[in-house]
Structure 1
Amino acid sequence: MTTRIDQRFADLKKEGRAALVTFVTAGDPDYATSLEIIKGLPKAGADIIEFGMPFTDPMADGPAIQEAGLRALHAGQTLIKTLDLVRDFRKSDDRTPVVLMGYYNPIYIHGVERFLKDAKAAGVDGLIIVDLPPEEDDELCLPAIKAGLNFIRLATPTTDDKRAPTVLRNTSGFVYYVSVLGITGTKAPDLKSVEQNVTRLKGHTKLPIAVGFGVKTAEQARSIAKSADGVVVGSALVNAVKTSLKAGKATPETAKAVHRLVSEIAQGVRS
């Protein structure tokens, strides 16, 4: 079964360019503004959208995404509302792939079978669950694949040739290569190391490889797009939300600030 993610990467391969994958926290700074941001991402240049599922203990995320998660939670965002957000987005966009990114705890509480059914019905295409290792594939990965969702795995600079086959075994959609060690958005990627590791991982998989963590500028995106099949931008967009707020609330500038930055980075990916 071909998913929207598979189709998008196949289309971009024909175009001869990398994908721009954009991450925003669902419900940040509030539901209505979050929907406005997400609806404008494809026009601004996003090829795939990751919705971050707010969680109280986001261990892999840096300060920017942690703060975004707290803003969303304080505004009343829940897992059910995140699925509602996908559903509302799908009313006007049936083509752009949507990935939910986050942690297993909210899914476990919702119930795996119920979650997969609800996610598929809402229009979700893939999952990135950062705290479920491949040794736990029976828990969510295999049921997700059976339900018709891509399960996207993270590979890191420490995913050596011995570990890579285990990590990639049940991965689908694309591989998310974490370009730096540590949490999101705190360091700039070492572009030479990224190129070497992407090339090495391509020896283990035919899946597209998208590179994220620390990408902030069009120039970085341009450099990464030379060797990778996709570039992921997250913390920079979440920071654009934060700097647009007044007293913690959305302003008319909030969605525009995110869309402007996506347009800039998209030009880097496309050049």
Structure 2
Amino acid sequence: MLNSTLQANLHAILVSIAVISVQSPLAEDFPFRKDFSDVKVMEIDTLFGSLKKCLVVDVRSKLEFSVIHINGAVHIPLSKSKFEEVVSEEKQKNKKSCVVFYCNGHTCKKSYKASRKTKSISNNFAYDAGIFDWATKYTNKTILLGKPLRNASDLISKNEYAKYEVSKEEALKNSASFNVIDTRTFFQRTEKKLPFKNVKRIPMQRIRPLLKRKIIEDKDLLFIDAVGKQNKWLQYYLKEYGYENYKFLKGGSASL
């Protein structure tokens, strides 16, 4: 029988070989790999086979992690103070032989930045295909809204989200008929004011319990975030709690 240290070292070597052997997707599918050529990338199937040995770290926001994440992943946002130190402590505490960072996928840079930020930690990788590629292929290893994902069809597609978007022209034209909810942070609100009356200011991190308890009435809602990205996560909770009468401002407040 191999001792645990030898097993860990052997696994790290095998993972490195697997990573090198499969890094051949089309460059246009991963546009930022060339900018982070110093970062070792792990492909989806290699990650699946390494779940028991690797510390899988979700570096996205708290909201994104709460909506969907890889089963067993730990949440350490890239913005966290002493990020490298925290990751290293988690790796040692969980007795893992490697670390894999992930974010939202092909056009997200956070997984690369996390790997580059933790160069002193041996055997660290970026899984840059992201959470949605993972959820589509490995639904049984995905957590959606706190429960195992049953089927990839439960994921909200771009087309489904787009059905709920309204342009700035439509939003301004029908401003009197909307109940506007500004989900931006305090600092984002001070940078740009919204040209609407009777706006409710509810930061994204505080909105979930209000939806769950139906304190926010399901009536002509128009949610406005900063750039039209955070609302995509909010929609999962709107669906979960039975909301139907809502819209999102396309492009967020930046479009106004």
TM-score normalised by structure 2 residue count: 0.24
Higher relative contact order (CA 8 A, sep 6+): 1
What TM-score do you get using the length of structure 1 for normalisation?
Answer: 0.24
Greater Cα radius of gyration, structure 1 or 2: 2
